[in-house]
Amino acid sequence: MGQLAEAKARLAAAGTEAEQAKMKIGLAEKEIKEKEPRAKKAEKEGEGLIKEFTAKKADVEKLSKRIGGSDWDEAKERQLLGQQAEHSQKMNELLEVG
């Protein structure tokens, strides 16, 4: 009779485990249903951001190539802007005197 009681106890434990597993599956399925639309929305937004990033990166590369090919020098530009400011100041002084 001890074997029968042991078997019944194992059967009851297995039944309890099965019920717990069913509950976990149900909760997981519910969570999937709740989160799936948000995940799809985030995926679409992510695709849009990736496309936007790729386009901006291509623009930067294209502009960098144009600047590189134009023989532009930032230091030279600063120097010329400084000279322009000096000349403008001298012109203003001459106009005030004249």
- Model pLDDT for residues 60-88, shown as the tens digit of each residue: 999 888 877 777 788 888 999 999 999 99
Which two structure tokens, joined as six digits, stand for 58?
């291509």
What pLDDT sits at residue 98?
63
What pLDDT sits at residue 42?
86
Q: Which residues of the chain have pLDDT under 50?
A: none
What pLDDT sits at residue 1?
61
Residue among 86, 66, 84 nearest 76 (CA): 84
Q: Which residue ranges make up each domain of the chain?
A: 2-72
How far CA 98 is from CA of 43, 54, 91, 95, in Å, comes to: 70, 58, 10, 5
Global pTM exceeds 0.85: no
What pLDDT sits at residue 3?
84
